[in-house]
């Protein structure tokens, strides 16, 4: 038996005509649902990126959030001095503080602003003994001007130094380097030795051995 269209199954063409629109409608429905889901996800992600986050609730009794402490600034490295410290010519003279024969402490830094004659000596040194009257005479000469004289006795106790000076008090400080520490700082290997420092505390001349009066005057003048 054949249907109206002459096929072997009655009504097949009719069912085909009904099934095709239904399938097409279902496909459009699924496509619309998928597109709607994609748009919903995209809108959610967009809002998450553009909308500000809600503040975290504060604990009970707290009225405001604590201000974060600034990160500590690393300490700046000290600026190195432009002139090295040492006993050589052109260097800054090593600083020191020594007791005077009168018991008072004397610091080299307190003479900054004046030229300084730093004289290392000892009473057991024959050239030092012979030269000592020259220093006393020079200190009283106009040529000395504003020059400060510091006579550093090396390694002798105060009573020995006082015995050498006797009743004559020199017109400049006599300092006691009992343990020889300042002598070592200035690398004094033989006595006497004299350092001439300018008003800025810079070593300008180093003179080993004794000097005559004319040599001392020339030293501070030149």
Average pLDDT of every residue of the chain: 79
* Cα-based angle 84, 85, 91 (whole degrees, multiple of 5): 70
The winner for highest mean pLDDT among 41-50, 76-85, 102-111 is 102-111
Domain-located, residue 182: yes
In this structure, are 204 and 102 located in the same domain? yes
Within a domain: residue 71? no
Residue 112 pLDDT exceeds 60: yes
Mean pLDDT confidence for 42-55:
54
**Maximal CA-CA distance, the chain:** 161
Lowest-pLDDT choice from 94-103, 140-149, 202-211: 140-149
Same domain, 25 and 109: no
Give pLDDT, residue 132.
95
Domain count within the chain: 2
Residue 63 has pLDDT above 60, yes or no: no
φ and ψ at residue 117, rounded to 5 degrees? -100, 110
Q: Is residue 77 part of a domain?
A: no
How sure is the predictor about 169, in pLDDT bands with cuts at 50, 70 and 90?
confident
187 within domain boundaries: yes
Q: Is 102 left (phi over 0), alpha (psi -120 to 50) or beta?
A: alpha
**pTM of the predicted structure, to 2 decimals:** 0.64
Asked if residue 213 is part of any domain, the answer here is yes
Is 65 inside any structural domain?
no
* 113, 187: one domain: yes
Cα–Cα distance for residue pair 94/186, rounded to 1 Å? 7
Same domain, 188 and 105: yes
pLDDT for residue 144 is more than 80: yes
Same domain, 45 and 125: no
pLDDT at 29: 56
- The residue range of the domain holding 128 is 97-221
Is 61 part of a structural domain of the chain?
A: no
């Amino acid at each position: 038996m054949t249907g109206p269209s002459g096929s072997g199954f009655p009504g097949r063409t009719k069912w085909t005509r009904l099934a095709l629109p239904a399938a097409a409608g279902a496909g459009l429905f699924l496509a619309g649902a998928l597109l709607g889901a994609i748009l919903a996800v995209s809108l959610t992600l967009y809002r998450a990126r553009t909308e500000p986050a809600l503040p975290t609730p504060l604990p009970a009794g707290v009225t405001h959030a604590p201000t974060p402490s600034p990160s500590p600034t690393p300490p700046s490295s000290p600026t190195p001095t432009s002139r090295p410290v040492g006993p050589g010519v052109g260097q800054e003279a090593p600083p020191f503080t020594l007791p005077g024969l009168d018991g008072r402490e004397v610091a080299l830094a307190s003479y900054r602003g004046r030229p300084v004659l730093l004289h290392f000596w000892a009473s057991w040194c024959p050239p030092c003994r012979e030269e000592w009257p020259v220093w006393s005479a020079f200190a009283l000469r106009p040529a000395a001007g504003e020059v400060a004289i510091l006579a550093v006795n090396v390694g002798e106790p105060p009573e020995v130094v006082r015995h050498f000076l006797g009743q004559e008090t020199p017109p400049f400080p006599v300092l006691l380097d009992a343990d020889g520490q300042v002598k070592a700082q200035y690398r004094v290997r033989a006595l006497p030795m004299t350092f001439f420092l300018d008003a800025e505390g810079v070593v300008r001349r180093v003179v080993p051995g004794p000097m005559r009066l004319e040599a001392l005057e020339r030293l501070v003048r030149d």
